[in-house]
Amino acid sequence: MAEGKTRIGIMGGTFDPIHIGHLVTAEAVRIEFGLDKVLFIPAANPPHKQHAQVTPAIHRYIMTVMATYSNPSFFVSPIELERPGPSYTIDTVRALIDQYGEKSDFYFITGADAIADLPTWKDIDELLGLCHFVAATRPGCISMIDAVIRRFGAKGRQRIHRLATPELEISSTDIRERVKLGRSIKYIVPESVEQYILKEGLYRG
């Protein structure tokens, strides 16, 4: 990691909907790793969720913009929404390198659950050469992350980092379930996102 390089965080996700777990994690990684900015990148057609019902991308994109607008270091990129076909991280990172040039270092931010699947990601060996990974640990996941790091040997130790973040047991799945059951989602998502979900009638089932 050379001096003077711009450090760019990539927070990929379905964001169906975005919640404070995503935001708190991205902010913690931004501070800890000295990132200049974090790009939130909603997935168009997540390869691992192809059979699940995913909310139209336009809603997920709008909610992500509303949730991030007040943080001057947070940006939303439509890069995966504009690209046809499944959203593979390797294609996204290659496109970002084209866009930002070699003068940037990329840090892909994930939760512990996503890091567990890393060995199955498309072109993972090449991907580890192109960007760092920061695994935010949810409770009880530290040993699992260490196992993934060991699996990739020296490259894993160099490129995969762990960060303990506030233990937010929040998931989009839980939020969708709460809306369906008519329960409150106040303070779990930003107020603008809560209002948008209610106004558009999302997740009512």
Chain positions contacting ligand ATP, by CB under 6 A: 13-16, 21-22, 25, 110-111, 113-114, 136, 138, 165, 168, 170-173
Q: Which is nearer to ligand ATP, 102 or 120 (CB)?
A: 120
Report the residue number, 68 or 172, with the smaller CB distance to ligand ATP.
Answer: 172
The nearer residue to ligand ATP, 127 or 168, going by C-beta atoms, is 168
> What percent of the chain is helix, strand and coil (3-state, nearest 5)?
45, 20, 35
CB of 159 to ligand ATP, least distance (A): 16
Rounded to a whole number of angstroms, the minimum distance from the CB of residue 78 to ligand ATP is 16
Contacts of 41 by beta carbon, 8 Å cutoff, 6+ apart: 10, 11, 12, 13, 76, 77, 79, 80, 92
CB of 137 to ligand ATP, least distance (A): 9
**Position with the least CB separation from ligand ATP:** 111
Long-range contact list for 172-179, CB < 8 A, 24+ apart?
A: 172/14, 172/15, 172/16, 172/17, 172/18, 172/19, 175/17, 175/19, 175/203, 176/16, 176/17, 176/203, 179/203, 179/204
Minimum gap (Å) between residue 139 Cβ and ligand ATP: 10
For residues 53 and 70, which CB has a smaller minimum distance to ligand ATP in the complex?
53
